[in-house]
Every structure is written in structure tokens, then in C-alpha cells.
Structure 1
Amino acid sequence: MPLGSLRPSPLVEQATQHLREQITQGEWPVGTRLPGENALAKALGVGRSTVREALRALAGAGLVQARQGSGVFVIATDIAEDWPARLRRAAITDVYEVRMMVETQAARMAAQRRTEEDVAALEEALAARARAASQDDAAFVDADIALHAAVVAAAGNPVLTDLFAEFAPALREGLIGLVEVLGLRAHDRNPGHDTHAELVAAVRDGDGDAAGAILQAELEQTLAHLHDS
């Protein structure tokens, strides 16, 4: 399959797509050394810098690997599954176990690092969770996750914040199902309010050990429900 010249824009995206198709369609099997940058640039009608960026993108997708002094080689013909996709197909119990490890430490950090703005955000999230008690299960779960996200945000680590955001969609789906199947709000429309209020208070008071312990106990209880459901 000839490469063919590319349209002017967006060149990097187009170059990446063309090279990806060559690999995934078997034109360059695993173990093949790709043509050099000059040859690829000429075939695609682009500059070497565009080819270089395209190869970086393919390396990030797990399709090629640069070997010092040897060139760029095909190492896979299937695109590596990205993190959100892996989370979507993962068992909710597996996701929850990782969440528990991440979020418990985040709560301890939040108690050490929280600002006045963080405390205000936590108190508002707690109030929003209480208000959501009068709404349906999905709205209540959303408010619950928002409170936990506020705890993570108070840790002041943007990587932790982003990581929790990646977990959130899988958590939401699993928790809505859990609430519905077990009827967790049948007798108490705002389950766990006292525990969450204690969590917010511990973060506000700078008690990292208490914050971590409260969150650990709450998440372990939910995980037990998930294993039993």
C-alpha cells in the first residue's frame, strides 16, 4: 500500500494515521525496521520534524520502539489499550481496591495541606450530598463522588486529582448499580452522612490519621458490599 502525500493540515495527525495503518494492516510486521526519517518524510510529503512527532505518537501507542543506533522497529500491530478503556472493562472491585489505596493516602495528605478554600469546598460538597438525598440514586452517587473528589483535591497533588478523575466514571457506574441492587437508600436516603461529616471534620482539623482511618473504614465497607453483590 503506497503511503501517498498528505494534505497540508494537520500534518502530524495525518502522518501518524498513515503510518499506523501501515502497521496495523500488516504492511510492516512485528520486527520490521521502519524506513528512515528522510525516506518517510519524502514518501509522505512532509518534513522530518513531522515524521519524528508521528513516530513518537506511535511509540506512545505501543506500536514502535526506537533503538539507539539501529532505527525504529515495529513491536506490535495492535494499539495498546489506553487507561480509561482498561478501567471501563475492569471489575468494579478491582477498581475499588486501587481507589481505596489512593484515596486513603490522599485524605491524610489533605489533612496536612488543606487551605481555607479547600475546607469551604469540602463543607459545601457535604451539604450538596445531603441535599441530593432527596433525589434519585444517580444524583446521590454523583454528589457522593464529588465530595470524595473534593477530599482528593485538598491533597494539593494534581496527579492524584487527575487519577481520581479517571476512576470516577467506573466508580459511578458500579456504585449506582450497588445502591439499586442492595437498596441501600430504602430506609435511609442519606446513608453515611455522619461518617462523611467526620471525614470533613478530620481534614478541617488537620488530623491525617483520623481522616485516613475514617475513609479506610468507609471504603472497606463498600468494597465488602461489592464483593457480596
Structure 2
Amino acid sequence: MSSPGPLGRPLGPLRPSPLVEQATDHLREQITGGQWPVGTKIPGETTLAKTLGVGRSTVREAVRALAATGLVQARQGAGVFVIADRPHEDWPTRLRRAAVTDVYEVRMIVEVEAARLAAERRTEDDLVALDGAMAARRAASSWGDAEFVDADIALHRAVVAAAHNPVLTDLFAEFAPALRQGLIDLVDLLDLRTAHPGHGEDTHAALVRAVVAGDAQEAARTARAELEATLGMLRGA
């Protein structure tokens, strides 16, 4: 007899291709729907293959997919057991779901250190890139809010790139999309650019000057002050 799925959906034979994805979805539903609670040993490959109407290799791949999301775990000699009823979220998904203030706090930690390293490691190419990014941000003061925020983020990206640490660069690349809309909303909500279209130009120019001058302490201090000011506005918005 086939096991019931959520809302009475039976665990029965699948349609043709893509079988692995379908098998994964069916098995996941047994877990997230409560049919296989945490601690349950799921049926073996042979049983599942027969129930789903697929080959054992398809079942094996589906179970691997479930294991990758933290739902099940194979125990040598004992079988496969349910260890969670909700899948782990990957890093980009967690960032999208996180509060913008939480993301910004971590961004601040990353960028302050990046600014310090940038002042110590910047090359002539970096100086050219920073000068161009600062000029683009200044020019964007006459553009719309979204374009201005994009230019602002591009300047910060240039500072991070000048640190020449690929991990910091990748972290910033992950943060940027999660921050972008929150910053656009902040600029619009607080009407930050009405009186000062190039909002924050002085602090950003000071940051670039510190990096160009090779003053690591001043670069870190300036980055922290600028980012803390924005974080304060986000918290109060």
C-alpha cells in the first residue's frame, strides 16, 4: 500500500522525466508533511523504487539531494534517517530573507577590514578604478535613486576589490543584491537626496583619499563611520 502524502497525495508511481526531481519532491513531501517525522528510518532503495516506479539509481540520487539539504542522513549499516523536517537554506536565500539591518551589520564588518587592506594593498589600477567609481557616484547625483544607489555600491565594490582578497570580494558580491533594494527604499523613504543629491559625497571622498594615501587606520575609521551612519538610518526607518 502506498504511503499518504500531504493533503492525501499518495506516494505512488511517477510520471516520466525528470524522474530524479520528481522523486526528490515526493520524498521531501513525506518529510515536510509529517508522514516521516524526525528520527524515522525511511524505506530502503528497493522499496522506494518499487513504490515510485523508478530505478534504484533514481532513488539514490533523490536521497542524496535530500541529504544535501540536511533533511536525511545515512547511517552505515542502519539505513537512512530523517534528521530535520525543513531543508537548510543556502547562503543567497538566507540573505534574501534576512532583515536588511542584519545584512548591513555583517557588511560593515567586511568593509571596514576591506578598507584597511585596500589602503595597504592598492595598486595603480585600483587607484584608477577608485577615481572612476567616485566620479561615477558624483555624476549619479543627478540621476534617479536606483541609479545613485548602484553607483554608490559600485564605489564600495571598488574599495573591496582593492583589498585583493577574493573571499572578501565574493562576500561583498553576495551582500550587494540583498542590500540594494533596502538602500533604494531608505533613500526614498527619508528623502535623503532632496537637499543633498550626492548624499554622503564628503565621507565617500574621504574614504577614497585615505585608501589612495595608503592610510589604513584612517580608511578603516572612515568606512566604519560612514557605514554606521547608514545603519543608524536603516534602524530608524
The interval holding the TM-score normalised by the smaller chain is 0.7 to 0.9
What's the TM-score, normalizing by structure 2?
A: 0.80
Corresponding residue to 2:55 among 35, 41, 46:
46
Superposed CA offset, 1:56-115 (max 9, x none): 321232311233443321122333344444333433322221111111112222333334
Question: What's 1:218 paired with?
Answer: 226
Question: What's 1:20 paired with?
Answer: 28
Q: Does 1:202 align with 2:199?
A: no
Percentage of matched positions with identical amino acids: 64
CA RMSD of aligned residues (A): 2.7
Letter in 2 for 1:34: I
Distance 1:98 1:67 in 2: 36
Question: What's 2:5 paired with?
Answer: none
Question: What's 1:77 paired with?
Answer: 85
Distance 1:166 1:51 in 2: 33
Query: Quick check: which has more Rg, 1 or 2?
Result: 2
Distance 2:60 2:207 in 1: 49
Length, aligned pairs only = 227
List alignment gaps of at least 5 residues for structure 2.
1-9
Distance 1:161 1:108 in 2: 14
What's the TM-score, normalizing by structure 1?
A: 0.83
Deviation at 1:140, TM superposition (A): 0.7
Deviation at 1:34, TM superposition (A): 2.0
List alignment gaps of at least 5 residues for structure 1.
none
Question: In the TM superposition, what are the counterparts of 1:148-159 in structure 2 within 5 Å?
Answer: 148-159=156-167
Corresponding residue to 1:120 among 122, 128, 134:
128
Q: Does 1:177 align with 2:201?
A: no
Corresponding residue to 1:139 among 147, 150, 153:
147
Distance 1:16 1:44 in 2: 13
